[in-house]
Amino acid sequence: MTKRLDNKTALVFGAGSSGPGWGNGKATAVLFAREGARVVCVDRVAEAAEETAAIIRDEGFEALAITADVTASAEIAAAVAQTVATFGSLDVLHNNVGITEMGGPVELDEARWHRAMDVNATSVFLCCKHAIPEMLKSGGGTIVNVSSLAAIRYTGYPYLAYYAAKAAVNQMTVAIALEYAKQGIRCNAIMPGMMDTPLIRTQIVGQYADADDMIAKRHAACPMGHMGDAWDIAKAALFLASDESRYITGHCLPVDGGLSSRAG
């Protein structure tokens, strides 16, 4: 049976997980492999990249683990080069890396502002900068950026730099999509809403009394009454990476259980 990413090579930045369980990048890398892709798992933490690649290989699919910092242009270029050298092409780029830095315009210091912008936004620019030329060599490809509902909504958290960076990701997505539409490259973004992933336990929990309080309040904030999970993001990414979405580009897709549709 034909799979949705048969004979494709997918480069997933942020393929590890920030804690135990399934993060968005980890789930996406595994799902891409299950759907036929050769997957290159990139993470700043070598063990995290290898853990995801090992899951894929244990299931009988092809995977390569690479350690790279998405704020380092040379390391991204090396990851792209190694991908093409190993598998012969680059067909899907998935940009999943993201961090939160708490603080409003007064509280947030400049160093943390720059870190949030570099990790969340500059990383997307750099990954696209190095991946697009390889996609053009083979006639096109697909780019899926993970943004956030915070790109278009105030979510209640005091993370000014995160709002700004994710808004930048959305507009970069649109600009890239339109610039390369006639050259066979599609570019879309996913905007997760309230998701139950390891990241919230490592980066968001400090905004609540405790972890149980956080989980309960985030579930309650969702119109469906519960948060989504990493597999909801992975399935959206698979759709946008596959030919099923061949006439969709420049779109920023909310995956949020209806949260962006609710007033107030």
Q: How does pLDDT run across 229-255, given as a tens digit for each residue?
A: 999 999 999 999 999 999 999 999 999
Q: State what percent of residues in the chain have pLDDT above 70.
A: 99
- Which active-site residues does the annotation give? 162
Report the C-alpha gap between 95 and 155 in whole angstroms: 22
Q: Do the bridges between strand 185-192 and strand 92-95 make them parallel or antiparallel, or are there none, so unpaired?
A: unpaired
Which pLDDT value is given to residue 203? 83
Instruction: Answer whether 92's CB lies under 8 Å from 142's CB.
Output: yes
- Residue 251's SS3 state is coil
- pLDDT, tens digit, 9 for 90 and up, residues 174-207: 999 999 999 999 999 999 999 998 888 888 888 8
Domains annotated on the chain, with CATH: 9-195+229-259 (3.40.50.720)
Per DSSP, the chain holds a count of helices (H) and strands (E) of 9, 7
Whose CA is closest to 52, among 94, 100, 91, 115? 94
pLDDT > 90 in the chain, percent:
87
pLDDT value for 147: 98
pLDDT band of residue 263 (cuts 50, 70, 90) is low
- Distance from C-alpha of 199 to C-alpha of 19, rounded to nearest angstrom: 7
The alpha carbon of 244 is separated from its chain's Cα centroid by a whole number of angstroms, namely: 19
Nearest CA among 145, 216, 143 for reference residue 180: 143
Reported in sequence order, the residue ranges of the chain that DSSP labels E, i.e. its strands, are 9-13, 38-43, 63-67, 92-95, 141-146, 185-192, 252-255
In whole angstroms, what separates CA 173 from the centre of its chain?
Answer: 12
Give the pLDDT confidence score for residue 264 in this predicted structure: 57
- Distance, in Å, from the CA atom of 66 to the CA atom of 53, rounded to the nearest integer, reads 9
- CA distance to 27, 141, 142, 145, 179, per residue, from 183 (Å): 29, 9, 11, 19, 8
pLDDT, residue 106, reads 97
